[in-house]
Structures are given as C-alpha cells and as structure tokens.
Amino acid sequence: MNTKVFEGRTYDCSHGSWFDRGSADSWYSRPLDPHCYPNGTGHEPRLEANHPEEIEAYMAGYKWNEQFGGKKSWD
C-alpha cells in the first residue's frame, strides 16, 4: 500500500483512495467533494464518503496538496 504521513496520521494515498481524490480535487481547484474510487480513479464504483474516517482522509489529502502540492495551470 502506498502511504503518506500527514499531521501525525498515516493515510493510504494509492490511486483512487480518499486521500488521493482529495489531493487531486485541490490540484485541479475543484470544490470539496469527498469521494473515492476503490478500483482506481475513473473505474467504477465511485463511492461517496459516509464515515468520519473517509471524510478525514479526503480532507487530509486536500489540505496536504494545499500546503505542499501545486495547482494545475490551465495556460
């Protein structure tokens, strides 16, 4: 499993994970929309967050990208 430690917690950041989707939404300047793709991004099913742990992982990914990542340049 691909993991990342952020704010003292370890998150699964594999492609399509809650953390990954949060960081991608931040990267593309999309609004908050806690979701994941357990079979990889774009591969069904698309799951909506229903549990606090899922929202936490998504938000951690979003916040991580806001702090350390970049933003997609549309130029």
Per-residue pLDDT of 9-47, as tens digits, reads 999 999 999 999 999 999 999 999 999 999 999 899 999
Residue carrying the six token digits 């990954």:
20
Closest CA to 23 of 1, 32, 75, 74: 32
Structure tokens at 55: 């929202």
Neighbour-count burial for 39-64, b at 16+ CB within 10 Å, e otherwise? eeeeeeeeeebeeeebebbbbbbbbb
pTM reported for the whole predicted model: 0.95
